[in-house]
Structure 1
Amino acid sequence: MNAKVTIVVPIYNVEQYISKCLTSLINQSFKDIEIMAVDDGSPDNSKGIVKEFAQKDSRVKLIVKKNGGYGSVLSYAVKHIETDYFIVCDPDDWLATDAIEKLYNFAKKNDVDITVGDRYNIYTQSNTKKYISSKPGFIKVKPMKKITDMKEIQYFSFFLVSPHAKLYKTAITREIQFPNKVSYTDFILYLLALAHANSVAYYNEALAYYLIDRSGNTTTDIRPKVLNDYLVGWSSAFNQTIDLSNKDVSVLLYRLYYQLKFIMREYARIIKENKFNNKYLKEIFNDMKSLQKYSKNIKNVRKDTGKAILVMNGMLNKVLYKIVIKEYIKKKQ
């Protein structure tokens, strides 16, 4: 049997969750899959659990590598995947039984480079789930429709960037570079895949389950290193985006502006002391200064209104940007 879809599972210290994840994958209604379980130097028994699954199901392939972070796993994957399509499933999450069947059949039939589905957020403390649409309200796109306009494709960057229920055509990801030793590199994968894509589609059905409130989840992390990882990821995405000199990437630059604002909000959440005197704020200043070179491009495609326009104008102003950024962070604390 030749696999048609690879499911990439990045693994690090998830022995408590990996069995449920792998069970959801081997039980997919679409059988022509390969499960690329990449153990990123995990010190726990995660690899032992994967080995047990691999002994029972030959579609499960265990790769053990030296620890290099989430980005190193994605880097390995995009270089070694042999199938035409792939999806990333984090090891503490799981897929609906028919997730691959629905995403692959739609993508294959319509020749779509990236198919983006919805997800459920799972809350362990209350034992509840919530339907989460990947699509933001201000983006007007018809579900199940193939989009080929370059600008419309790039506006998909405002969808949720996490890997949940996103099926990629492998060929468009081969040239993407990922930094090592940092998390949150799924942002790089999604943004740069859109930069290389010739088509996208929105599949408006929740096909993945995201365990959002578990201990150690990246969304609840308050270590200062989080800011470093976000900033390293931002710089990587920015540099690779502007290197695409043969394409108009204005919308992606607009999205990078909003990612930098998100990092400012994270800064306000995490930094409790010396709020305006540390290396992270200086990096934010430098990154905004880099964006200012593309101020005209960003303003030509923005969808902001009212106060958001004033804030953008201030942050993209070469004289005022430091003052505006500090005021923005103060209001978010």
Structure 2
Amino acid sequence: MCPSEIPIGSTPLVSVIIPVYKVEKYLRRCVDSVLIQSYSNLEIFLVNDGSPDNCGKICDDYSKADSRIKVIHKENGGLSDARNAAIDLAEGKYITFIDSDDFVTIDYIETLVSLAVSHDADIAVSQFVYYRDNGEYLIHQPKETTKVFDSRNAIETMLYQRDFETSAWGKLYRVSLFKGDVRYPKGLLYEDLATTYKLIALSNRIAVTNKISYYYYLRDDSIIGNNFSPKKMDILTIANNMLRTFEDQMPGLLLPLKCRLTSLYLTVFLQIKQRNEFCDILWYKIKEYRNVVLFDNNARLKTRLACLLSYFGSSSIRFFFNFINERK
């Protein structure tokens, strides 16, 4: 079903949640991309998370110009806390999240609603590209067809990083998934990894389209950037919580989880330029899982190669990834 083929009467209210913090330079681009959506039945939450710049005023100006916009001003609590504040107030049938330095195509919401309605899906997923200031797009090539998963297969696919990622953004969620106690963990990085699998586990169907409709802006201070900070060790807390949950509730998915965690451990490990206690902890975790990941044919080739090279020492892994990055 194409976006224009949404059945008459199937235009439910969609709650768009945009956390706002220190994005004065990019906020208008984001909000404007939502206001011009071809799908207009929206309530738009701009959550000013105690931003010290002019973002609060920009949000208020938008709310005066468009009645669909609702502004929440709150003390700084982080991305998760900002999302949660709006989730608690959302009145839509569906929720979608957009980061305030990103932007979307004009049919972003219409595409996702069409996907959810036509497949009776609890979660609908679109594809994304990375965007830089110089206009450079690092394209994640989408698959050719729409795919529909049950919850187990969707979690496995996501952890193996095949058809979609763990990100909160770029997805449409049935609001009933949040009616229980599922919320984003306050104060932790990798909050999407910690939460998306829970939402999928509560879903009957997850529909994934090949359409690119989300632009993820690559900032120098982005969490996926190359700079290490001790805060990134939050991955260990997230990992421990997920491992306990999977052992109790989804033991058949422990292998893909270990593959995904190993990939993240490698990413953070490579950001540490000089050996320290964090480096040693991550290296221990990599060695703990490397054997099972190496022999898992479903794991990404790059991750398996890194696990193989780990037997020759950490310098081999660093050389391998430096070589890959230089060829990009």
Q: TM-score range by the shorter chain?
A: 0.7 to 0.9
For the Cα contact (< 8 Å) 2:80–2:186, is it kept in 1? Answer: yes
Q: Aligned ranges for residues 133-212 of structure 1 at < 5 Å?
A: 133=141, 143-148=145-150, 150-157=152-159, 158=161, 159-173=164-178, 174-212=180-218
Q: Aligned ranges for residues 109-128 of structure 1 at < 5 Å?
A: 109-125=118-134, 127-128=135-136
Question: Which residue in 2 is equivalent to 1:229?
Answer: 234
Q: 3-state SS of the aligned residue for 1:254?
A: helix
Question: Which residue in 2 is equivalent to 1:272?
Answer: 273
For the Cα contact (< 8 Å) 2:94–2:173, is it kept in 1? Answer: yes
Alpha-carbon distance, 1:287 to partner: 9.1
Question: Which residue in 1 is equivalent to 2:112?
Answer: 103
Deviation sequence 1:19-67 (CA, Å, 0-9, x none): 1111111111111111111122211111110110001112111112222
1:22 to 24, 31, 37: 31
Matched, 1:68 2:82: no
Question: Which residue in 1 is equivalent to 2:59?
Answer: 50
Q: Distance in 2 between matches of 1:306 and 1:21?
A: 35
Amino acid at match of 1:186: D
Q: Unaligned 5+ residue runs, structure 1?
A: 136-141, 316-322
Q: Distance in 2 between matches of 1:177 and 1:197?
A: 15
Q: 3-state SS of the aligned residue for 2:43?
A: strand
Matched, 1:38 2:51: no
Alpha-carbon distance, 1:149 to partner: 6.5
Question: Which residue in 2 is equivalent to 1:139?
Answer: none
Q: 1:329 to 1:68 in 2, by over 3 A?
A: farther
Higher alpha-carbon deviation: 36-45 or 176-185 = 176-185
Q: 3-state SS of the aligned residue for 1:220?
A: coil
Q: Distance in 1 between matches of 2:19 and 2:145?
A: 29
Name the Cα RMSD after superposition: 3.4
Question: Which residue in 1 is equivalent to 2:280?
Answer: 281
Q: 1:267 to 1:153 in 2, by over 3 A?
A: closer
Matched, 1:263 2:268: no
Deviation sequence 1:129-184 (CA, Å, 0-9, x none): 3432366xxxxxx7224323733553133222334421122222443243322333
1:216 to 217, 221, 237: 221
Aligned-residue sequence identity (percent) comes to 24
Q: Distance in 2 between matches of 1:287 and 1:74?
A: 32
Matched, 1:303 2:303: no
Q: Unaligned 5+ residue runs, structure 2?
A: 1-10, 323-328
Amino acid at match of 1:166: K
Amino acid at match of 2:139: Y
TM-score calculated relative to the size of structure 1:
0.77
Number of positions where the alignment pairs a residue of Structure 1 with one of Structure 2: 307
Q: 3-state SS of the aligned residue for 1:218?
A: coil
Q: 1:280 to 1:300 in 2, by over 3 A?
A: closer
Q: 3-state SS of the aligned residue for 1:80?
A: coil
Amino acid at match of 1:255: L
Q: 3-state SS of the aligned residue for 2:130?
A: strand
Q: 1:329 to 1:75 in 2, by over 3 A?
A: farther
Q: Distance in 2 between matches of 1:186 and 1:69?
A: 13
Question: Which residue in 1 is equivalent to 2:7?
Answer: none
Q: 1:123 to 1:307 in 2, by over 3 A?
A: closer
Q: Distance in 2 between matches of 1:78 and 1:239?
A: 26
Q: Distance in 2 between matches of 1:112 and 1:163?
A: 16
Higher alpha-carbon deviation: 278-287 or 142-151 = 278-287
Matched, 1:129 2:137: yes
Q: Distance in 1 between matches of 2:121 and 2:239?
A: 26
Q: 3-state SS of the aligned residue for 2:181?
A: coil
For the Cα contact (< 8 Å) 2:48–2:59, is it kept in 1? Answer: no
For the Cα contact (< 8 Å) 1:9–1:91, is it kept in 2? Answer: yes
Alpha-carbon distance, 1:118 to partner: 1.1
